[in-house]
Structures are given as C-alpha cells and as structure tokens.
Amino acid sequence: MTILATGGAGYIGSHACVSLLESGYDVVAVDDLSNSSAEALRRVEKITGRELKFYEADVCDRAALEKIFREQKIDGVIHFAGMKAVGESVQKPLEYYRNNLDATITILEVMRQFGCKAIVFSSSATVYGSENEYPYREDMPKGTCSNPYGWTKSMSEQILCDAAKADSELSVVLLRYFNPIGAHESGLIGEDPKGIPNNLMPYITQVAVGKRKELTVFGGDYDTPDGTCRRDYIHVMDLAEGHVKAIKYAMEHAGAEVFNLGTGVPYSVLEIIKAFEDASGIKIPYRIGARREGDLPEFWADASKAGNILGWHTRRSLADMCRDSWNWQKNNPKGYEE
C-alpha cells in the first residue's frame, strides 16, 4: 500500500512518515518546502532504514499532482500540506484561503481523476470555535473560528464531507489535532519553526538553548486553576500513530468520519514550564504578559471516539513530550540548517 503524504516534510508529516514506514506502508511525500526542509525526509529514512519517494511541488499545481499519480500507484492520501500560522493568517487571509482551500480541492479533484478513494485530513481543534463546552466531542456543532487559518480548516472539512456525500466510494477521515509537541525519540527530527516561534513549546526550547531571553506567558488572569491558559498537549509520535490507524480505517470504510486526536488531559502554561524544567534541568525565565488576542482560556479533547473506533490511545506522558522536545532542540540548535 502506498500513501501520498502532502506536506510530508513538515513537523507532523515527517513524524507520520516514520510511523507509516515502520507500519509497512510505502510513502510518497510531496512538499513545496515553503515551511520545511528536505533534510527532514532524509532523516526519516535514517530512522526507519527505509526509502521514501519525494516530490518537491506545490499541491495546488494540478499538473504536478497528476504527474505524481501517474508515476506512483497511490492507494490513499494523508493531506498535511497547509499554511498554519494563526497570526499571519490574519495579516494574509487571501494567501491562506488560496493555499489551504486550493490544496484541498486540487487533491480531491486529482484523486477523483485517478480513482483514489481514501483521504485523511489534518484538521484542528480550532474548528470547535468559542461556543462549545469542553471537553470537545466530535458530535458537537462546529463553532466560529477566531482567524482565517481556523476557517480554512473548517471550510476544508466541509469541502471534504461534501465530496464524500457526492461519491459513495470516497472515504474521508478528519483528524482534529489538539496541541502537538515533542519530537521523535531519536532526536533526529522535530519542530523547526522559521523565525520567532508562535507556539509555546518551540519558544520554551529556544529559551532553553539560549536563542531567546525569556518566555512571555500570555495572560495570568484567566479563570483557570493557576490563571494561565490550559491546553491538551499531545506527543507528536502519538499523533503520528493516529494517522496509521486513520488511513487503515479510511481504506476500509467509505463515508466521512471525524476524530479528535488529543490526550483528554489539559495542562496550564505554568505546568508546561515546570514539566520542561524538570525534564531538562534548565530554568526557563518567564514573565506574565498581556493576554494574546484570540486565545481561549482552556479546552481539551474527549478522545474516547478514536479509542473506541480506531483503537488508538496515547502512550506518552507530558514528561516524555518535554524530554523529546528538548532532546531535538539541544541536538539541533539550528534545526535542520547545518
């Protein structure tokens, strides 16, 4: 079985490629390297001792995608490719809608053309919006997103579900990720953000490695146990393993299905700092700053559906997440650049 991983060179895609290869799938990765490095895929091969095929291409480029489907026999697609910076999406909404929606539509069109019937999509907990109670369950209605990035996920979900409704053989699995952190246990691949990190864990690891002076905690006056926001952090390798279960499910069931991929347990920003300090032995200087616009006080997953239907359970602890994030950062202080 051959899986096409769009955005396969990225943070989550590269870790999923490891899990797929280790589970016996052949992998073809396509990525335009707009937010990643081909070195990640060389390291995936090193970790697994297996080869994968790589195409450097924009998945909105229909001719380039057709070429891949002509040259490879693709049995299923995992669609990771997309732009993901929340703040940037507010500044550049048209670029986000163009890239993320065009990518989803083009992939579906080319899959239809070549008779490929299974797709797993990287969605996000952000589609629950601000209206729902936590823990979020898949049967809740989607909510109002606070930024264009979130809307591209919500709209892509709709497009994928409509495509599945129109083609009774098509299978769509929507995976709503919570907050992925951590890295492969080898320390060879991990998250390599360009510029100043937007997300908490890469910011912490860059403070730990001496690249940034201190962390600003966005808000200390929320109505939460310690006043800082709480999120459902999930180890990226647990998340990666969820994709192996999801693509298998997609190949065996037609129709559209949605699964939360989270642990079901929230941690606050201060708890993350403490857990990181314990795992690394390094003190993280921080100060409490203003709230960040658009942040919700807290949310986490009800992850029971993925457990019951996919047989997927998270296995790694917060300590593992911190240890592996740190192991990656300290072994690769400049990320893939070297």
Residues that bind ligand WQD (CB under 6 A): 84, 86, 124, 126, 179, 198-200, 203, 215-218, 229, 231, 269, 292, 295
Among ligand WQD, ligand NAD, none, the one that 11 touches (CB under a kind-dependent 5 to 8 A) is: ligand NAD
State the DSSP code for 141.
P
* Closest-approach residue to ligand NAD (CB): 10
Q: Give the nearer residue to ligand NAD in terms of CB position, either 200 or 279.
A: 200
Q: Check residue 13 for interaction with ligand NAD (CB under 6 A).
A: yes
Applying CB under 6 A, among 54, 80, 276, 326 the residue interacting with ligand NAD is 80
In terms of CB distance, is 194 or 283 closer to ligand NAD? 194
Query: What is the C-alpha separation between 4 and 114, in angstroms, rounded?
Result: 13
Q: Which of 135, 180, 202, 262 binds ligand NAD (CB under 6 A)?
A: 180
**CA separation (Å) from 291 to 36, 42, 122, 218, 288?**
29, 40, 27, 5, 9
Q: Is residue 233 part of the contact set for ligand NAD (CB under 6 A)?
A: no
Q: Which does 304 bind (CB under 5 to 8 A by kind): ligand NAD, ligand WQD, none?
A: none
Report the SS3 class of residue 35.
coil
* Residue 235 touching ligand NAD (CB under 6 A): no
Distance, CA of 26 to CA of 259 (rounded, Å): 24
Do residues 164 and 170 lie in contact, with contact meaning Cβ atoms separated by under 8 Å? yes
CB of 201 to ligand WQD, least distance (A): 7
Smallest distance, ligand WQD to C-beta of residue 177, A: 6
Residue 35 binding result from ligand NAD, ligand WQD, none, given CB thresholds of 5 to 8 Å by partner type: ligand NAD
Nearer to ligand NAD, 197 or 219 (CB): 197
Residue entry with tokens 């952190």 = 181
CA–CA dist 338, 332 (Å, integer): 9
Cα 147 to Cα 151: distance, rounded to the nearest angstrom: 7
Side chain identity at 136, as an amino acid letter? Y
Question: Binding residue for ligand NAD (CB under 6 A) from 17, 19, 20, 35?
Answer: 35
* 82 near ligand NAD, rule: CB under 6 A: yes
Sole binder of ligand NAD in the list 5, 27, 103, 269 (CB under 6 A): 103
Strand partners, 179: 233
Q: Does 124 bind ligand NAD (CB under 6 A)?
A: yes
CB atoms within 10 A of CB 285: 10
Q: Whose Cβ is closer to ligand NAD: residue 104's or residue 268's?
A: 104
CB of 283 to ligand NAD, least distance (A): 26
Nearer to ligand WQD, 44 or 200 (CB): 200
The alpha carbon of residue 154 and the mean position of all alpha carbons in its chain are separated, in whole angstroms, by: 15
Per-residue CA distances from 269 to 41, 195, 315 (Å): 31, 22, 22
Minimum Å gap between C-beta 87 and ligand WQD is 9
Q: What is the dihedral of CA 236, 241, 245, 251, to 10 degrees?
A: 80
How far is the C-alpha of 302 from the C-alpha of 317, rounded, in Å? 17
Mark residue 311 as left, alpha or beta (left: phi above 0; alpha: psi -120 to 50; beta: remaining). left
Measured CA to CA in angstroms, residue 110 lies from 120, 172, 246 at distances of 15, 15, 21
CB of 132 closer than 8 Å to CB of 143: yes
Residue recorded with tokens 């891949």: 68
Q: Find the part of the chain contacting ligand NAD (CB under 6 A) among 8-16, 182-190, 222-230, 312-320.
A: 8-16
Q: Which residues are catalytic?
A: 149
- In the complex, least distance from residue 48 CB atom to ligand NAD, rounded to whole angstroms: 18
Binding site for ligand NAD (CB under 6 A): 7, 9-13, 31-36, 58-60, 80-84, 99, 103, 122, 124, 177, 180
